[in-house]
Each structure stands twice: as C-alpha cells, then as structure tokens.
C-alpha cells in the first residue's frame, strides 16, 4: 500500500487497538502507523468503546479475551455504532466456535496469536480496500 489510507475528504483513516496486554499495543501500533493510520491504543475495552463513540474509527483491532467487555461484545457495540467499521479480532485462545460467532456478527477477520505482523498488515490492507470500495458506492 502506498501513501496513507484516506477516509472521506482526504482525512487519514483512524485505527484503534484494544488489548489488555500492553505489549500487543506497543507491537502493533507501528505496523498500522507505517500504513499511514492515525492510531490509538487502549488496554481497557470500556474506555476504548467510550472513545469510539466520541471519535469514531475506521478499523478496530481487538483481543477477544479481556476483563470487562470482551472482544466479541466490543465487536457488537462497534458494529451497532458504525456498521462501516472493520473489526479484526485477535486471540490467544482460538476456537472455531468463537471465530464463527464473530464472523456472523460482522468481524472482518479473526486472527490467532501469535501471528506475524506482516499477516496483520495484509488483513488491514484488505480492510482498507473494502472501506474504499464502500466509499465509492456511497453518495
């Protein structure tokens, strides 16, 4: 992907990373920033949802298992507030049942930890292309 991903009217796309393990945010933030995203990182999913409601984001990368609001519940809340938002769930405890539930609820992708950051980069690039396609068909 060349240049920065853009939302409407040339503004950079915004990404949110939500994981209760600080190392995950520190590891993933540079990947998304290198792609040109404005990135915010949260360790508390409830605070992340409050910020999402305030600012809106184009892509959310969230852990599934977290204290308080888990990733599947966060997915549901995000998709209710912004059906356009692409949510990528990551988990250290992959299961076909959770993946199927998440995909049925509108997750863009589910990714098992550990994963290579290049794999996440490719998923984010696909999500960005999907956002652009939808923007092309909207009035």
Domain-embedded: residue 2: no
Residue 16 has a pLDDT of 98
Domain-embedded: residue 116: yes
Domain-embedded: residue 20: yes
Give the range of the structural domain holding residue 52, as residue numbers without chain letter. 8-134
Question: Which CATH number is 39's domain given?
Answer: 3.40.50.2300
Residues 21-76: tens digit of each pLDDT: 999 999 999 999 999 999 999 999 999 999 999 998 999 999 999 998 999 999 99
Domain-embedded: residue 1: no
Residue 139 has a pLDDT of 34
Using DSSP's 3-state secondary structure scheme, residue 116 falls into: coil
pTM across the whole model = 0.89
CA separation, residue 9 to residues 5, 6, 13, 102, 135 (Å): 12, 8, 11, 31, 11
Domain-embedded: residue 88: yes
Number of structural domains found in the chain: 1
The C-alpha atoms of residue 1 and residue 101 are separated, in whole angstroms, by 30
Domain-embedded: residue 3: no
């Amino acid at each position: 992907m060349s240049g920065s991903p853009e939302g409407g009217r040339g503004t950079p796309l915004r990404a949110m990373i939500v994981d209760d393990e600080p190392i995950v945010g520190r590891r993933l933030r540079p990947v998304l920033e290198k792609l040109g995203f404005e990135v915010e990182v949260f360790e508390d999913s409830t605070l992340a949802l409050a910020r999402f409601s305030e600012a809106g984001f184009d892509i959310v990368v969230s852990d599934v298992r977290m204290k308080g609001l888990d990733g599947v519940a966060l997915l549901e809340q995000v998709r209710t507030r912004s059906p356009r938002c692409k949510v990528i769930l990551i988990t250290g405890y992959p299961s076909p049942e959770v993946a199927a539930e998440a995909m049925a609820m509108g997750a863009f992708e589910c990714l098992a930890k550990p994963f290579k950051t290049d794999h996440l980069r490719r998923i984010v690039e696909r999500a960005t292309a999907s956002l652009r396609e939808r923007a092309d068909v909207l009035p």
